[in-house]
A = this chain, B = another copy of it.
Amino acid sequence: MAAPLELHPDRLFPADVGLRAIARRLYEPVADLPIISPHGHTDPSWFANNELFPNPSALLITPDHYVFRMLYSQGIALEDLGIATTGPGGKPVEEDPRKVWRLFAQNYHLFSGTPSRMWHDWVYRDVFGLDVVLSAETADLYYETMDAALKTDAFRPRALFERFNIEVIATTEDPLDPLAHHAKLKADGWGRKVVTTFRPDNVLDPDYEGFEDNLEMLADITGCDTTSWLGYLDALKDRRAWFRDHGATSTDHGHPTAFTADLGPAESEALFHTIRDGGGTAAERELFRGQMLTEMARMSQDDGLVMQIHPGCWRNHNEMVFRRFGRDKGADIPTATDYVASLRPLLNKFGNNPDFTLIIFTLDEDSYSRELATLAGHYPAMKLGPPWWFHDSPEGMRRFRERTTETAGFYNTVGFNDDTRAFLSIPARHDVARRMDCVWLAHLVAEHRLPEAEAAVIAGDLAYNLAKRAYKL
């Protein structure tokens, strides 16, 4: 007989009876606050066009790199999971979503103890009403139940958006994107609900695929001369303004390191010309990326866009997977990341401005207590983004609060980001964050380190207010 699927009301709360009671009291008033999702990767066409989602596998497996990286690590071919190939080699890609689903279901035990398990169970129980645990035995029941639901209007993107009580969600687009979906959303009166984010890696990073072509496209779009340094900067300013017109309140930067530079204008211009046509050494390309972060910060002084940096990931570590399947296929690996020397040029230039907001993320948890909390606990502009990617998990959240609170406090952090393209799991992810923050606060209360009344205020700030305020949403 299949095991029952339950979402225990006390899930994630500590075993200790006293602690649990405090956590419950703190959680209850924040549990149903609207969702502020200031950074993520949902597809704006979903909300613009409001079409039905295709099928359970296309919605829950194929786009979720947490899921297929784990399956791949245990010897399951990506082709068998229906992952589209972009290059030659390998076996044929499975085209039957039901077979993909069965393969996933047979291997669901691999996710025991992972956040994916929690998110998926939440989606199955709360979104689809399933009440048995996913397994080989229940795979078909799952597929049929979800497939039928996805054909109904209640599962269209806008209906789910309302059901999930999302107040605002930010998507992420690059400067070459025409933002047509956001324009439609604006016209539909959804412009304040779904906003874009300016993510210019593909025109700032000389190592990005197609960098030179991208600069030409940028010139075409903006009418600026991107063969000159000042024209290039103008083009970027122009696109930032365009993104602001489509709701953007922030930029985002995914660089291999947190390195920033503060060159003089002449040096910057010379470097740009070295880089412009695919030239420059690796060190010069890194210097250019670093200088461009500082240029982005400079533009934020004027246009008020909040600046986010997501550094420290070795993208596409697995050559074969990159060649055959392309980017974002679960083969990105965090690296040890310095912030102290790296951010100094940018912070010395703009970090003392309390009206500027720089939100820093990390995949290197070792930097929490040593570098990030100490920097954010000093520079007025700098704030700490929530635990990111692999660390967006109960233990990751616990470590984040344990290692940052004592030096940075709560008010140098900015609430939660779900940072996901897995739309259906967004409420689950925010719920995990709200629960784990309440657990941390409950510890402080139980150990008489914080009065419960103050903890209750902080719980609300972490769940809702801080994200809204920090991202100007």
Contact = CB atoms under 8 A, between A and B. Distances in A.
Contact of A409 (B111, B321, B354): B111
B73 A380 contact: yes
A379 B330 CA distance: 10
Contact of A374 (B366, B374, B390): B390
A316 to B, nearest CB: 11
A233 B451 CA distance: 55
Interface in A392-445: 393-396, 402-403, 405-412, 443-444
A363 B369 CA distance: 9
A6 to B, nearest CB: 8
A69 B113 contact: no
Contact of A395 (B10, B112, B402, B411): B402
B340 A317 contact: yes
Contacts of A410: 112-113
A75 B450 contact: no
A409 B114 contact: yes
A113 B318 contact: no
Contacts of A369: 365, 390-391, 396
Contacts of A140: none
Given A11-B449, A320-B348, A375 B406 contact: no
A453 interface: yes
B448 A75 contact: no
Contacts of A411: 74, 109-110
Contacts of A447: 11-15, 394
Given A11-B448, A319-B348, 5 more contacts: A112-B409, A113-B449, A317-B344, A331-B378, A336-B336
Interface of A: 3, 8, 10-19, 69-70, 72-75, 109-115, 117-118, 133, 314, 317-321, 330-331, 333-336, 338, 340-341, 344, 347-348, 351-352, 354, 363-366, 369-371, 373-380, 382, 390-391, 393-396, 402-403, 405-412, 443-444, 446-451, 453-455, 457-458
28 contacts: A3-B453, A11-B449, A12-B449, A13-B447, A15-B443, A15-B447, A16-B16, A69-B377, A70-B409, A72-B380, A73-B379, A112-B454, A113-B444, A113-B458, A318-B378, A321-B352, A333-B374, A333-B375, A335-B370, A335-B371, A336-B336, A363-B370, A365-B370, A369-B396, A390-B407, A394-B447, A394-B449, A395-B406
